[in-house]
């Protein structure tokens, strides 16, 4: 080893020593910061986790449960009464008018109830949101599919069709296959409008019972459901009809009496709002407007 080499060796040890000191300093610093983070930042992190846990729970609940508004005053429910969606007489509402009315409901944030929801609203005096309507179409005309369903689909609304179960083979009425198809869309449900569409108040109790029980059984079996609502043909019913409707397993029944439905009228005597051809959207808006609180 020459002189130069000796200097280099000395220098090498010097560098090595400096490195060791540096490592020791860095290591010490790291440990110090670790111990600091244990005493100060860990509780902070725990708090954050705890806060997140308590905050996220109600959010999740609100997304799934959606509590209904319990009303202080008795519910006044607008139940709209349509029949055929076509033109020609006072019972037929033109396709264009029906579409305008559906557009109005959508634009003004109405929720269109299903039969199950309407029964819940009436019997528990509560609503899923402030503005609600229940759309009903009597007689199950074929044009409910061709002229009515497109608007329901377009505006994502729901309607209830009151079917005459003995008429499903008639050319201008919905067939069972068509009813099934409509039900599958989720935009329509079906209730009973009896078997033969006779004036119930003119029948004997036994005849009435047949109309009520057989139509319910047909719908229950063919549409795989528990039919909960009865709609009286031409709105005609008497005290016997009310008693038999309850006995047959219906929760509520609808008439053609004009007005908002309230439970004061009785479960089996609920009023509706007739929608007539030529009615302006402004008249329609006034007719269905009600404040429930
Ligand atoms: Zn009818």
Q: Report the CATH number at residue 241.
A: 3.20.20.370
Model confidence at 7: pLDDT above 70: no
What whole-number distance in Å separates Cα of residue 97 and Cα of residue 90? 13
Does residue 16 belong to any structural domain of this protein?
A: no
CA 272 to ligand 1 centroid distance, Å: 13
pLDDT in tens, 37-86: 443 444 444 444 444 444 445 555 555 668 999 999 999 999 999 999 99
Query: How many CB atoms lie under 10 A from the CB of residue 245?
Result: 26
What is the distance in angstroms between the CA of the first residue and the CA of the last residue of the chain?
A: 103
CA 231 to ligand 1 centroid distance, Å: 8
Does residue 226 belong to any structural domain of this protein?
A: yes
Pairing of strands 132-138, 79-82: parallel
CA dihedral 228, 233, 235, 238 (to 10 degrees): -80
Does residue 55 belong to any structural domain of this protein?
A: no
Q: With b meaning 16 or more CB within 10 Å and e meaning fewer, what string describes 14-35? A: eeeeeeeeeeeeeeeeeeeeee
What whole-number distance in Å separates Cα of residue 283 and Cα of residue 274? 12
CA 30 to ligand 1 centroid distance, Å: 84
Number of domains in the chain: 1
Q: Which residues pair with 126 in a beta bridge?
A: 70
CA 3 to ligand 1 centroid distance, Å: 119
DSSP assignment string, the chain = --HHHHHHHHHHHHHHHHHHHHHHHHHHHHHHHHHHHHHTHHHHHHHHHHHHHHHHHHHHHHHHH-PPEEPSSPP-B-EEEE-BSSSSSTTBPPHHHHHHHHHHHHHTTPEEPPHHHHHHHHHHTEESSSSEEEEEEES-BTHIIIIIHHHHHHTT--EEEEE-GGGTTSTTB--HHHHHHHHHTTSEEEEE--SS---GGGS-HHHHHHHHHHHHHHHHHHTTS---EEE-GGG---HHHHHHHHHTT-SEEEEEEES-B-GGG-TT-EEEEE--TT--HHHHHHHH-----
* Average pLDDT score, the chain: 87
Does residue 225 belong to any structural domain of this protein?
A: yes
Q: How many residues does the chain have?
A: 293
**Domain span at residue 151?**
71-288
Sign of CA dihedral 30, 36, 41, 46: positive
pLDDT at 219: 98
CA 193 to ligand 1 centroid distance, Å: 7
Does residue 40 belong to any structural domain of this protein?
A: no
pLDDT in tens, 107-165: 999 999 999 999 999 999 999 999 999 999 999 999 999 999 999 999 999 999 999 99
Does residue 54 belong to any structural domain of this protein?
A: no
pLDDT at 74: 98
- Which class for 143: exposed (0-12), middle (13-18), buried (19 or more C-beta within 10 A)? buried
Does residue 125 belong to any structural domain of this protein?
A: yes
pLDDT category, 98, cuts 50, 70, 90? very high
pLDDT category, 28, cuts 50, 70, 90? very low
CA 188 to ligand 1 centroid distance, Å: 17
CB 151 within 8 A of CB 98: yes
CA 40 to ligand 1 centroid distance, Å: 75
Does residue 7 belong to any structural domain of this protein?
A: no
């Amino acid at each position: 080893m020459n002189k130069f080499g000796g200097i280099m060796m000395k220098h090498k040890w010097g560098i090595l020593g400096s490195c060791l000191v540096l490592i020791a300093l860095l290591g010490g610093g790291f440990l110090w910061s670790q111990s600091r983070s244990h005493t100060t930042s860990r509780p902070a992190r725990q708090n954050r986790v705890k806060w997140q846990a308590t905050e996220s729970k109600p959010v999740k609940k609100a997304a799934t449960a959606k509590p209904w508004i319990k009303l202080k005053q008795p519910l006044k429910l607008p139940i709209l009464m349509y029949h055929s969606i076509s033109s020609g007489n006072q019972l037929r509402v033109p396709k264009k008018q029906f579409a305008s009315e559906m557009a109005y409901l959508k634009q003004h944030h109405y929720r269109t109830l299903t039969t199950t929801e309407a029964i819940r609203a009436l019997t528990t005096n509560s609503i899923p949101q402030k503005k609600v309507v229940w759309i009903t179409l009597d007689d199950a005309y074929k044009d409910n599919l061709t002229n009515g369903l497109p608007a329901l689909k377009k505006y994502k609304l729901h309607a209830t069709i009151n079917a005459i179960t003995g008429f499903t083979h008639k050319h201008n009425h919905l067939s069972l296959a068509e009813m099934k198809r409509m039900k599958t869309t989720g935009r329509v449900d079906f209730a009973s409008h009896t078997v033969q569409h006779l004036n119930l108040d003119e029948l004997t109790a036994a005849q009435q019972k047949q109309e009520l029980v057989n139509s319910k059984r047909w719908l229950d079996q063919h549409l795989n459901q528990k039919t909960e609502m009865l709609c009286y043909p031409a709105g005609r019913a008497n005290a016997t009809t009310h008693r038999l409707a309850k006995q047959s397993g219906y929760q509520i029944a609808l008439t053609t009496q004009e007005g908002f439905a309230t439970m004061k009228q009785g479960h089996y005597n609920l009023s509706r709002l007739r929608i007539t051809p030529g009615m302006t959207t402004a008249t329609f808006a006034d007719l269905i407007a009600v404040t429930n609180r």
